Amino acid sequence: MVTIADTKVTDPPEAMLPRPFRVTSLHAETEDTVTLELEPEDGNSLSFHPGQFTMFYVFGIGEVPISISGDPHHPKNLVHTVRSVGAVTEAIVGLGVGDSVGIRGPYGVGWPVGEAEGKDLVVVAGGIGLAPLRPVVLDVLARRDRFGGVSIIYGARSPGDLLFEDELRSWRSRFDVETEVTVDRSADDWFGDVGVVTGLLPRISFDPANTVAMLCGPEIMMKVVANEMATRGVGAERLYVSVERNMKCAIGFCGHCQFGQDFMCRDGPVLPYARIAERLRVSEL
Ligand SMILES: Cc1cc2nc3c(=O)[nH]c(=O)nc-3n(C[C@H](O)[C@H](O)[C@H](O)COP(=O)(O)OP(=O)(O)OC[C@H]3O[C@@H](n4cnc5c(N)ncnc54)[C@H](O)[C@@H]3O)c2cc1C
Ligand code: FES
């Protein structure tokens, strides 16, 4: 018989209990997207693997999955980057310094950064998809000598929609990282590339037989990029995508996030493209 003493933190009800965190800073990335830093009110920082997410609870409004966008080497404060698209995310973006929220997690399988060590790494992000990939970039740059060539391709709707602009500038100024940025729609003060991210792929160099790629953004973007990378010889088992599905429990109990044989909260959100490609094709039909 299972007693309360046997209950692990990953079992309900403990895993369903949010911990109180307080907002310590807010940075408006764009008109609708904010990066928040949160400190744990109990003082226990939350270590995480790049690509993991938390369940973010705004008291009285609701709870949503949000990827951790901070630096895995400095997890003292929890960092999230949130785009306002509905009731809960609008409430998050409207929070102020000192406000209290509930956080549980981290959950999910993150990006296979270890597998990329010693190989070329290609990171492709679209829109808010750079948020879950930022911890990968920060981790890789902190241990740059362990990786082969590193390329980052980022696309946003317009120049005003670009996230982490200061960091993008600093990544672009480095000689040991190839960073390409494009927008769908230009603006008067934009002198960079215009067009979809796939247009930038021919510019980057990598050894297809020794490359790991990590893709996050709209599903159509990930599919097009994955197919293009596969055409250039990168095996589908070394192409990783982050597939988001609506979540409730986030611990593999409720089935809300089921996608084929996987529960995306537990088995994902990051999966090898080889495993998920067929399901993505069917879900589009
Ligand atoms: C693992 C995971 C990580 C995520 N990380 C982030 C993140 O770092 N930053 C961030 O801003 N958002 C992230 N999201 C998306 C975020 O959870 C949703 O935007 C949020 O649940 C919407 O809730 P809402 O109440 O604000 O809006 P709702 O009223 O629930 O939805 C508003 C609109 O957004 C659409 N929507 C809802 N959920 C999603 C989704 N998962 N993907 C695409 N469209 C959706 C709905 O269909 C609807 O059209 C993540 C989702 C998952 C599953
Ligand atoms: S959200 Fe409940 S099983 Fe994934």
The string of pLDDT tens digits covering residues 36-50 is 999 999 999 999 999
Cα 257 to ligand 1 centroid, rounded to whole Å: 13
Cα 85 to ligand 2 centroid, rounded to whole Å: 21
Please state, as a whole number, how many other Cβ atoms lie within 10 Å of the Cβ of residue 135: 26
The string of pLDDT tens digits covering residues 107-135 is 999 999 999 999 999 999 999 999 999 99
Cα 182 to ligand 2 centroid, rounded to whole Å: 35
**Pocket mutation for ligand 2, best pick of 10, 263, 267, 271 (most atoms within 8 Å of C-beta):** 263
Please tell me the predicted confidence (pLDDT) of residue 256: 94
Q: How confident is the model at residue 280 (pLDDT cuts 50, 70, 90)?
A: confident
Q: For residue 75, is pLDDT > 90? A: no
Please tell me the predicted confidence (pLDDT) of residue 7: 45
Ligand 1 pocket, residue 66 CB under 6 Å: yes
Q: For residue 269, is pLDDT > 60? A: yes
Element (H, E) at 131: helix 130-142
Ligand 2 pocket, residue 254 CB under 6 Å: yes
Ligand 1 pocket, residue 88 CB under 6 Å: yes
Please tell me the predicted confidence (pLDDT) of residue 14: 73
Q: Cβ distance 63 to 88 under 8 Å?
A: yes
Ligand 1 pocket, residue 101 CB under 6 Å: no
Ligand 1 pocket, residue 109 CB under 6 Å: no
Task: Report the candidate in 190, 199, 36, 70 with the shortest Cα–Cα distance to residue 124.
Answer: 199
Spatial separation of the C-alpha atoms in residues 41 and 21, rounded to whole Å:
5
Task: Please calculate the CA angle 191-195-201 and round it to the nearest 5 degrees.
Answer: 105
Which residues fall within 8 angstroms of residue 6, CB to CB, at 6 or more apart?
none
- What value does the mean pLDDT of the chain take? 92
Cα 95 to ligand 2 centroid, rounded to whole Å: 26
Handedness of CA 3, 5, 11, 17 (dihedral sign): positive
Spatial separation of the C-alpha atoms in residues 119 and 98, rounded to whole Å:
43
The string of pLDDT tens digits covering residues 179-222 is 999 999 887 788 888 899 999 999 999 999 999 999 999 999 99
Please tell me the predicted confidence (pLDDT) of residue 187: 75
Q: For residue 172, is pLDDT > 80? A: yes
Q: How confident is the model at residue 11 (pLDDT cuts 50, 70, 90)?
A: low
The string of pLDDT tens digits covering residues 15-71 is 788 999 999 999 999 999 999 999 999 999 999 999 999 999 999 999 999 999 999
Pairing status of strand 100-107 against strand 78-83: unpaired
Ligand 2 pocket, residue 131 CB under 6 Å: no
